[in-house]
Each structure stands twice: as structure tokens, then as C-alpha cells.
Amino acid sequence: MGHKRQYIRAAGVWLASANRRGKPTFQLAGQTYSYFHHPYNVTWLNERRVEVPIMREVLAREPDARTLEIGNVLPHYDKSIAHAVVDRYERQSRENTFAEDAETFTHGSPYDLIVSISTFEHIGYEDVPRDDEKIFRTVLHVRDLLSPHGSLVFTAPVGYSPSLDALVDEGDGFLERLCLRRVNANNEWVEAEWSDVRETKFHQPYPFANAIVIARVRPR
């Protein structure tokens, strides 16, 4: 089923449950977050509903960090954002945005904080021809762009890219991970263990991500 059809499916699922009162917040690692609603990418239908508030909190904790975002996501929701963005396919005219491949990008490094929302699952997986090793190379390269006390924090859906799932699965000692699982048609999420979500399918049973990983990688 194509991307547009999934949005139609997601809207149908959401509308069918719209009369049920949902919770306004979710929990992760002992912290309470408000769900995020925005017309861009219709966040109340998909995983952006939880990814954006999580990443906003990551940025808020390090307001003075030299920051790079991989994939142009957050500036769509906050025009005041001025951090550097690298996005291979971005054609939007925005200062400090680089239409380059993250695997080879080096401008402005080292960075204290590198963030990414639902971008890593596309790396390599959607290349033609597919490059299953590219996500591993990219993460190692990006890790080397960090300052000595910096960190890379990314969110990604589980079950979309087998290569990224393998990297997360084999990441003990390499990355720290937290997970969220979608639990109903209202697009509500609860914290879960990686062992409980590692086999989750994308688009099943609900449209788009049914589990996400929030990963943190430290410098080598």
C-alpha cells in the first residue's frame, strides 16, 4: 500500500476512535511528555506525535550545544530553529542547510549534539541499488563528528529497515536505547523493552510505526 493510501488508512483508523477520550500525555524514562499535534505530516496520525516532543526535550537540555540535525524535520515545526541541517534530498532554501549525504558530511564538526528524527531508516534501504551496509557506515561516520563529550540521538521506527533494526539489536555497548510501542487506534504510546518490540512490523496493526527506538550514541 502506497504512502498516500496509508495516510487515508490512518485517518480512517483515527476517525473511528475519535469519540474515545485519549490521554494527553505519555511517559518515557520517568518523564511526562505532551503528545504533539501539527498539520505538517498530520502528526496525530503517526509516530511524529511522540518523536517531536522527545527530540525537543533533548535540545532543551543542551541549549548551548553546537548542534547538527540529520534530516530536515524540526525546522518544519519551529521556524526559529537555527542549528545546522544536513539532508541529501532537501531543496528548501534555508540558511545553514546542506543538501549532502550524511555518510560523507563533515562541515562544521565537531558537534556537541547530533539529532535525527525518522531519517536513519531510509539510509541505504531506499538507495538504488539498496546498500544494506550504508547505515552502519553512516552511524560510524556521524559518531566521529562528535566532540569528546557529545552524543548522537536519533529516533526511528522499528520494522522498516532490517539493517537499522540489526544495528539497534546488536548495539549493546555501542548505543543506549529506549523504546515506545503504539497501543491503540488513538495513536497512544507506552514505554517498552527492546526485547518486546524488536519483531514489530511497520504498518501492522496500525498505519506507520507501531514501535520506535530512541537511541543515544556516544563518541568513540
CATH code of the domain in which 168 resides? 3.40.50
Q: How many domains does the chain have?
A: 1
Domain with 12, as residue range(s), is: 3-217
Contact 142, 152 (CB under 8 A): yes
CA 209/CA 175 separation, integer angstroms: 21
Digit-by-digit pLDDT tens for the chain (220 residues) are 567 788 888 777 777 776 666 789 999 999 999 999 999 999 999 999 999 999 999 999 999 999 999 999 999 999 899 999 999 988 777 889 999 999 999 999 999 999 999 999 999 999 999 999 999 999 999 999 999 999 999 999 999 999 999 999 998 888 999 999 999 999 999 999 999 999 999 999 999 999 999 999 999 8
